[in-house]
Structure 1
Amino acid sequence: MTSHPPPTRLRSLRGYRLFVAAQFVNVSSVGMQRIVQDWLVLELTDSPAAVGVAVALQFFPLLLVGPAAGVLADRHDKRRIVRATTTLSATLGLVLAVLALTGTIEAWHLYAVAVLLGLVQAVDGPARQALVSELVGDGSLRTAISTNNVVAQLAGMVAPAVGGVLIVVVGEGWTFALTAVLALAALALLAAIRSDDVREPSRVARARGQVREGLRYVASHPTLGWLVVLAGCLGAFGMNGPVVLAAFADEVWHTGSGGFGFYNSVAAVGAVGGIVLGARLRALDARLVVLAAGAFGAVEIVAALMPVQWAFVVSIALVGAATMLFITSAATLVQLLAPREMRGRVLAIYSPVLLGGHAAGGLLAGQLTEHLGVRVGLVMVGLAAIASAVVVGVALARRGVLRLTAEAHASATLAPSDAARPSDAAAPSDVAGPAGAVIPADAARPARPASSGKPVADVARGVDPQSPASS
């Protein structure tokens, strides 16, 4: 892992400014499309479980193509990938607009588009996240990710509220049409990013076994593997906002589509607070990620028990804050722990697990809501999220890595394991020595004793024999 260069003022980076603007517009487009999509499913089927199916179909494709999408991001120009995926998103929005405006739209159409949008997002995610580090460099990565998430959440405040109002004022068809227009605007901004705007480009030559290589690297790392486990659990047991908020709007508070959009916007407001809090905290370690996960489960339980609507709204803001504190901290730590030449593949494992868990959580929340009621269902998933945080926190503490920052990992990790070492097709990365000096990767590899041939201590090499893959 390389030592991190000094941070750069993000406002001075033309490419990053364009990227952030495109991110705001793109998140507005996708977020509005999903809000209208989920609400239309509820209107057509009158079933929260059907909304859960729609949510699941949006995220299950990530599990199928996620790792392969990471290899694609590592091999190719990430700018071209995100331009292509944005074009496809615009096309899907246009298809839904035509179906809705002609009065021919059915639930299965929405399910099919949900799957296709999930495939598009599966390819888009690793490339878009890795492009951030190429535009700003590792020294500014934490600030850039926080800024990026603030912008995304600002869009998240606007898109659901606007989408909910537009459903009432102009109908679903014209709202879908607007999402297509927004996606085309995002495409224009991405097209303006030039090759010289990329400060730290990274591309890996094609080689056999690169997907397996990424999986082995994550599984053998003392921290990454457990972060992936926690992300999957939290996605499955907690991140089910569309299902839960739709049910509260329809069955508990009787506020309709306008209330559904409003609750999503409130969660986005809270999310900005979580991002700002995360950016103000100096230490970034697994302990912060675990605490955020536990807080997330706790405030979900609080939200479920609120007897009046205003108290529910406040608690939803707290849920949004805890959610983004977890997501921002975990995503930044995962990127900083991964070598640059492995970053696309690591993100393509982490993100699909998080969002794939979200898919399973949508199904789970839909079934619990339909059979036990939305309040009981939310309490149950909140308890499960807390239990997951406790288990992962204890596991990391027992391995002595709970409070290790990314920089401490870089100093302690002399080299990845033989099984997890990046392929020869990729240039070896440098690592930071104990005093902060940059040591070439080849020189940093520990010598093996001639007598026994045994490697040096596993944890010092970044390999934990008690990681999730080996236990």
Structure 2
Amino acid sequence: MTPLAQRFSPFFSTTFAAFRHRNYRLWFYGQLVSLVGTWMQSAAQGYLVYELTGSAAYLGYVGFVSGLPSWLLILYGGVIADRVSRRTLLIITQTVMMALAFVLAALVFLGVVQPWHILVLAFLLGVANAFDAPARQSFIVELVEREDLTNAIALNSTMFNTGAIVGPAFAGLVYALTGPAWCFSINGISFIAVIFALGLMKMPPKPAPVNRSSAMRAIVEGVGYIRSEPLVFTLILTVFVLNVFGFGLITLVPAWAVTILHGDATTNGLLLSARGVGAVICGLLIASLSGSRFRGRMWSINSFILPLALAGFALSTWLPLSLVFMAVTGFALIAVLNNSNAMVQSRVPDDLRGRVMGIYSLMLLGGGPVGSLLVGVMAEHTSEQIAAYACAGILFLFSVWIWFFRPNVRQMG
């Protein structure tokens, strides 16, 4: 081994500790390919909706409809994730998502797509996500040893946001050259990678649940656990607030690219990719620190950086500066959300993991649609910039509340 390799070997062995596990490697690479396609569709769909309607509010409607099934079904999805093979459940949900992507591509290829088609398909995709998210969130513990769990969660964030860099940028190019249909087609094809990876995994047998109480009683048990653990409750509440006022604002990026920055589909892709760059940098940093005790402090500092970055983004009308603020926003969002996930997962008992992560996923996926609707309507009746200032102000006040009334969060390791 060369001296340079020896110098960096401890860094790589720490940062990529979860890669020691074959099943995790399969998951990572399969999901990475699929997520590039998912982000391509997300970026292209938002810009297509804005082209068809010219309405910032309609962007919010699509986001809201896609998340509505989370409020209706995701807690039940968490119960299912505790009772059946999570790998099998993921194969089913990923296959459904693939089919929906191909349907949207076909509608655009045929030249018959209408805004209501996108609303219906977004709702159906939300149904699939309601069962996919709890299984996906709780599946990681089956792929790695317990000591590598925080590292695996951080690398998952890096994987997700690498897709968020490549996907929107690629979508902007493909959209400009060929239109949105090929963006949706590539997304459909990309699901093959993760389905194939799941099929190759060798999973240990899953023990049967200790009891088979009714779904409602099982959900109540999960809620009861969260209510009895103030730190877990605070972290899950934070996930909801950040998704309403942080990711909710991301819904406006297609309108922002056109009305504020006077750009096009490529500008939209660059803004979304910049957020992903910041998020990937943060994910790698957290992975490299996964064995340290800095999570609470990193969480608290970035809870203040986030609203300041959003306010800076709202002030900027120059694309390069907007990209910088968007990257800082992505960094801060992941610093808070990723550490929240790791701190929750390190505390929840295995027999409640699916249900607790179902509630976590409800806040994660359910908050965004509420924010999309709220921020979209606010932007429609005021302006995109006023909506951004409002989100930044609310997040700042929430961070102040956490700092003074939940000081134990920043002491968490």
TM-score by length of 1: 0.80
Closer/same/farther in 2, CA of residues 174 and 140 from structure 1, 3 Å limit? same
| CA deviation map 1:345-375 (0-9, x unaligned) | 1111112112211111111211222222111
Q: 1:172 aligns with which of 148, 156, 180?
A: 180
Q: Which residue of 1 aligns with 2:330?
A: 320
Residue 74 in structure 1 maps to residue 77 in structure 2: no
Once the 2 structures are TM-superposed, how far is the Cα of residue 174 of structure 1 from its aligned partner? Answer: 2.2
Once the 2 structures are TM-superposed, how far is the Cα of residue 275 of structure 1 from its aligned partner? Answer: 1.6
Q: Which residue of 2 aligns with 1:226?
A: 234
1:338-377 equivalent positions in 2, closer than 5 A: 338-377=348-387
Over the residues paired in the alignment, what is the CA RMSD in angstroms? 2.0
| CA deviation map 1:137-168 (0-9, x unaligned) | 22100111111111221111111111111112
Closer/same/farther in 2, CA of residues 247 and 286 from structure 1, 3 Å limit? same
Residue 207 in structure 1 maps to residue 217 in structure 2: no
Q: Which residue of 2 aligns with 1:48?
A: 56
Larger Rg belongs to = 1
Aligned residue identity for 2:74: G
Residue 111 in structure 1 maps to residue 146 in structure 2: no
* Number of residue-to-residue matches in the alignment: 395
Q: Which residue of 2 aligns with 1:193?
A: 201
| CA deviation map 1:59-105 (0-9, x unaligned) | 22212112111111111111001111110010000110111111111
If each structure's helix is expressed as a fraction of its own residues, which one has the higher value? 2
Aligned residue identity for 2:212: R
Q: Unmatched 5+ residue regions in structure 1?
A: 1-5, 406-471
Q: 1:379 aligns with which of 381, 386, 389?
A: 389
Once the 2 structures are TM-superposed, how far is the Cα of residue 8 of structure 1 from its aligned partner? Answer: 10
Q: Distance in 2 between matches of 1:248 and 1:7?
A: 36
| CA deviation map 1:381-419 (0-9, x unaligned) | 01101111222333322xx565133xxxxxxxxxxxxxx
Q: 2:343 aligns with which of 333, 336, 341?
A: 333
Q: Distance in 1 between matches of 2:311 and 2:362?
A: 26
Q: Distance in 2 between matches of 1:227 and 1:203?
A: 29
Q: Which residue of 1 aligns with 2:269?
A: 261
Once the 2 structures are TM-superposed, how far is the Cα of residue 122 of structure 1 from its aligned partner? Answer: 1.6
| CA deviation map 1:268-289 (0-9, x unaligned) | 0111122233334422554543
Q: Distance in 1 between matches of 2:405 and 2:355?
A: 24
Q: 2:225 aligns with which of 203, 217, 222?
A: 217
| CA deviation map 1:413-441 (0-9, x unaligned) | xxxxxxxxxxxxxxxxxxxxxxxxxxxxx
Q: Distance in 1 between matches of 2:302 and 2:208?
A: 33
Aligned residue identity for 1:231: V
Residue 246 in structure 1 maps to residue 258 in structure 2: no
Aligned residue identity for 2:361: S
Q: Which residue of 1 aligns with 2:156?
A: 148
Q: Distance in 1 between matches of 2:207 and 2:123?
A: 30
Q: Distance in 1 between matches of 2:19 and 2:278?
A: 25
| CA deviation map 1:163-200 (0-9, x unaligned) | 1111121222222111111112321121111224x8xx
Aligned residue identity for 1:58: S
Specify the SS of the correspondent of 1:207.
coil
Q: Distance in 2 between matches of 1:320 and 1:133?
A: 25
Closer/same/farther in 2, CA of residues 194 and 49 from structure 1, 3 Å limit? same
- Whether the 8 Å CA contact 1:293–1:322 is kept in 2: the answer is yes
Q: Distance in 2 between matches of 1:159 and 1:328?
A: 21
Aligned residue identity for 1:112: V
Q: Distance in 2 between matches of 1:62 and 1:284?
A: 32
Residue 301 in structure 1 maps to residue 326 in structure 2: no
Q: 2:404 aligns with which of 378, 394, 398?
A: 394
Moved over 4 A (4+): 6-9, 284-287
Q: Distance in 2 between matches of 1:376 and 1:70?
A: 37
| CA deviation map 1:291-341 (0-9, x unaligned) | 322221111011111242211111111011111111111111111111111
Q: Which residue of 2 aligns with 1:408?
A: none
Give me the identity figure in percent: 28
Q: Distance in 2 between matches of 1:373 and 1:81?
A: 42
Q: Distance in 1 between matches of 2:276 and 2:371?
A: 19
Q: Distance in 2 between matches of 1:35 and 1:290?
A: 30
